[in-house]
Amino acid sequence: MCLGIPAKVISVDENKQGKIDYLGTRVKTNFVLLEDVKPEDWVIVHAGFAISKLNEQEAKETLELIREYTEFSENIKEQR
Amino acid sequence: MRELRNKNVIKGLLSDIRERAPSLPGPLKIMEVCGTHTMVIHRYGLKKMLSRAGISMLSGPGCPVCITPNEIHEAAIDLITENENFILTTFGDMTRVPTSKGSIQTTVPKKGSQVKIVYSPFDALNIAKKNPKKDVVFFGVGFETTIPSIAVTVKYAVQNHLNNFSLLSALWLIPPPLKTIVESKDNRIQGFLYPGHVSAIIGEKPFQFIPEHYSIPGAITGFEPGDILMSLLSIQNQIINSNPIVDNTYNRVVRPNGNPSAVAVMAEMFQKKDSHWRGLGYITGSGLKLKHEYKDFDSEYKYKMKIEAHSHDLPGCRCGDVLQGKILPSECPLFSKGCTPDSPQGPCMVSYEGACLASFKYGDKD
Ligand code: SF4
């Protein structure tokens, strides 16, 4: 039920109605719950509403952290 | 973020978790609060791998279809079987929950009445616009993730005088039952994976009481296998360092203070009430109802519905115990015998996020 999909914003009109691209399909989405949102932003969509914006900087940091963890465990294995 | 499902990444994180296990009192009992996490954990086979790495995962009350008690499902059935010219709209899973009166899907509506499945609460509103001569009830179920969208929908109906639209609410707040769980006598939970999309709305603060008052660690978690494993590593570290906090490993989506506009529209439309949860009983301030000024859009008020708590689950269904982590789904006598996804005997086997359905599809034991 709390499933949310990450999707790219295609368009938003002045009433905050618009479309997202989800796996190549354009889906109508309501953006009234977001303060500022524009085409090309990535958002999380749940039940037809965009509920949060993805933060690219944080996304990159998560990936870096993941890489560190994985390398760290690779190193441990090599030391054995 | 495909890397978060990469096999080597999963392996790497799991081996880190295994490395830490000897310095911990094991096996650790960690509750994944959210039903979507339950699904991810099962689908990627993490449950078994984690149990070998010293972590035992327990499902929590985070499936809204499952925790909605029978009396509300039955009240929705009564609406269409007792009234003509009604359209009952709701999310798909809700129509298949079995009750002593059948399910929404199997009952025969009265003349001119019908059931329509919707994907968004806004779809229900559009149905009301297109059918001005019918009464349209949206049977809305959900946690904080869904409630703001429902609030916006009702607000729109109020502003546009769509008087044939109303909301039958089954709306639940996540922090109150967590308090019930940690305070219960036989609680054994040593850490929480907090629901990522509920947190996207409410932020980190509503969970702070758990480390502060109960010294239980936890992490706000995203929905990729890598997210789940990173949060578990964080919980292990919190235990090792005796420093329980609410860590946010899903900060690419969850801001520390959540989504303030969404919280504001919830507060504008709804007020808290004490609600009855399947399996958990009455919990103070755990549910929402429309504020008095919007009562004409509240189906319960509008149709003088009497929804009284009872515990008439279907004979033999142990969904209530499953939701509290007291038994594994496979310990229910009906599991995979009388109760299967094709012929579910309780909501935990119906919902996509139900623990029984996840266990049926992927197994819950080693
Ligand atoms: S297996 Fe079926 S009958 Fe048993 S608890 Fe789960 S939903 Fe209920």
Round to whole Å and give the CA distance between A44 and B252: 11
Query: Phi first, then psi: what are they for B252, rounded to 5°?
Result: -70, -20
> How confident is the model at residue B312, as a pLDDT?
63
Is a pLDDT exceeding 90 seen at residue B8? no
A46 touches chain B (CB under 8 A): yes
Report which of residues B307 and B208 the model is more confident about. B208
Report which of residues B95 and A59 the model is more confident about. B95
Instruction: Say if residues B351 and B35 touch (Cβ distance below 8 Å).
Output: yes
Is a pLDDT exceeding 90 seen at residue B320? no
Report which of residues A59 and B175 the model is more confident about. B175
- A1, A47, A62 ranked by CB distance to B119: nearest: A47
User: For A55-64, what is each residue's pLDDT tens digit?
Assistant: 888 888 888 8
Round to whole Å and give the CA distance between B144 and B149: 9
Give me the mean pLDDT over the B80-100 stretch: 93
CATH 3.90.470.20 fits B66-174+261-302, yes or no: no
B225 touches chain A (CB under 8 A): no
Give me the mean pLDDT over the B199-221 stretch: 97
Of B58, B26, B41, B54, residue with least CA distance to B321: B58
Q: Which of A54-58, B145-149, B292-296 has the lowest mean pLDDT?
A: A54-58
Residue contact B19–A70, C-beta within 8 A: no
Confirm whether B2-16+27-62+187-248 and B66-174+261-302 share one CATH topology.
yes
> How confident is the model at residue B151, as a pLDDT?
98
Report CA(B329)–ligand 1 centroid distance (Å): 7
Round to whole Å and give the CA distance between B83 and B102: 17
B298 three-class SS: strand
Which of B65, B68, B70, B332 best tests ligand 1's pocket when mutated (most atoms within 8 Å of CB)? B332
Round to whole Å and give the CA distance between A13 and B315: 52
Which of B327, B331, B334 best tests ligand 1's pocket when mutated (most atoms within 8 Å of CB)? B334
Is a pLDDT exceeding 60 seen at residue A1? no
Report which of residues B310 and B148 the model is more confident about. B148
Give me the mean pLDDT over the A1-17 stretch: 87
% chain A with pLDDT above 70: 82
Substitution target in B154, B249, B253 with the highest count of A β-carbons within 10 Å is B253
The model's confidence at residue A2, banded by pLDDT at 50, 70 and 90, is low
Distant-in-sequence, close-in-space partners of A61: CB < 8 Å, separation ≥ 6: none
Round to whole Å and give the CA distance between B50 and B120: 35
Report which of residues B10 and B128 the model is more confident about. B128
Is a pLDDT exceeding 60 seen at residue B297? yes
Q: Which of B26-35, B306-315, B334-343 has the lowest mean pLDDT?
A: B306-315
A76 touches chain B (CB under 8 A): yes
User: What ipTM did this prediction achieve?
Assistant: 0.89
Of all helices (H) and strands (E), which one includes residue A44? strand A42-46
- B36, B122, B197 ranked by CB distance to A51: nearest: B197
Radius of gyration for the alpha carbons in chain A, expressed in angstroms and rounded: 17
Instruction: Say if residues B246 and B207 touch (Cβ distance below 8 Å).
Output: yes
B156 touches chain A (CB under 8 A): no
Q: Which residues of B touch A54 (CB under 8 A)?
A: 252-253
Alpha helices in B196-338 (DSSP H): 196-202, 209-214, 225-240, 260-269, 299-302, 319-323
Is a pLDDT exceeding 60 seen at residue B317? yes
Written as one letter, the residue type at B112 is G
> How confident is the model at residue A78, as a pLDDT?
52
Residues with CB under 6 A from ligand 1: B 316-319, 322, 329, 332, 334-335, 339, 345-346, 348-349, 356
Is a pLDDT exceeding 80 seen at residue A70? no
Round to whole Å and give the CA distance between B306 and B344: 27
Q: What is the model's pTM?
A: 0.92
In order, the DSSP letters of B128-173 are HHH-TTSEEEEEEEE-TTTHHHHHHHHHHHHHTT-TTEEEEEEEB-
Residue contact A1–B141, C-beta within 8 A: yes
Is a pLDDT exceeding 60 seen at residue B170? yes
CA terminus-to-terminus distance, chain A: 45
Residue contact B148–A51, C-beta within 8 A: yes
Written as one letter, the residue type at B305 is M
> How confident is the model at residue A80, as a pLDDT?
44
Give me the mean pLDDT over the B170-178 stretch: 96
Round to whole Å and give the CA distance between B12 and A74: 7
**Nearest atom of ligand 1 to the alpha carbon of B318:** 5
Query: What sign has the CA pseudo-torsion B46, B47, B51, B56?
Result: positive
Chain B residues 62-81 with a CB less than 8 Å from chain A: 62-65
Residue A65 DSSP class? H
Residue A39 Cα, gap to closest chain B Cα (Å): 18
Which pair of tokens denotes residue B308? 């009284």
Round to whole Å and give the CA distance between B104 and B95: 5
Q: Which residues of B touch A3 (CB under 8 A)?
A: 36, 197, 223, 352
Report CA(B92)–ligand 1 centroid distance (Å): 19
Q: Whose CA is nearest to atom 1 of ligand 1?
A: B335
Give me the mean pLDDT over the B248-275 stretch: 96
> How confident is the model at residue B202, as a pLDDT?
98
Round to whole Å and give the CA distance between B28 and B64: 26
CA distances from B146 to A66, B190, B220, B304 (A): 30, 28, 18, 25
- A3, A52, A70 ranked by CB distance to B259: nearest: A52
Mean pLDDT of chain B: 92
CATH no., domain A6-79: 2.30.30.140
> How confident is the model at residue A67, as a pLDDT?
77
Round to whole Å and give the CA distance between B203 and B198: 8
Residue indicated by tokens 């890489």 = A67
> How confident is the model at residue A72, as a pLDDT?
58
The model's confidence at residue A65, banded by pLDDT at 50, 70 and 90, is confident
CATH no., domain B2-16+27-62+187-248: 3.40.50.11750
Report the b/e string of B122-160 with b at 16+ CB within 10 A. Answer: bbbbebbeeeeebbbbbbbbbbbbbbbbbbbbbbbbbee
Q: Other CB atoms closer than 10 Å to residue B25's CB: what's the count?
A: 8
Round to whole Å and give the CA distance between B196 and A2: 9
Report CA(B319)–ligand 1 centroid distance (Å): 5
% chain B with pLDDT above 90: 77
The model's confidence at residue A73, banded by pLDDT at 50, 70 and 90, is low
- B4, B13, B262 ranked by CB distance to A33: nearest: B262
> How confident is the model at residue B185, as a pLDDT?
81
Q: Where are the domains of chain B?
A: 2-16+27-62+187-248, 66-174+261-302, 314-361
B135 strand-pairing partners: B86
Which of A54-63, B57-66, B233-242 has the highest mean predicted lDDT (pLDDT)? B233-242
Is a pLDDT exceeding 70 seen at residue A75? no
Residue contact A66–B9, C-beta within 8 A: yes
Instruction: Say if residues B36 and B64 touch (Cβ distance below 8 Å).
Output: no
Is a pLDDT exceeding 70 seen at residue B311? no
In order, the DSSP letters of B8-69 are HHHHHHHHHHHHHGGGS-SSEEEEEEEHHHHHHHHHTTHHHHHHHTTEEEEEEEE-HHHHS-
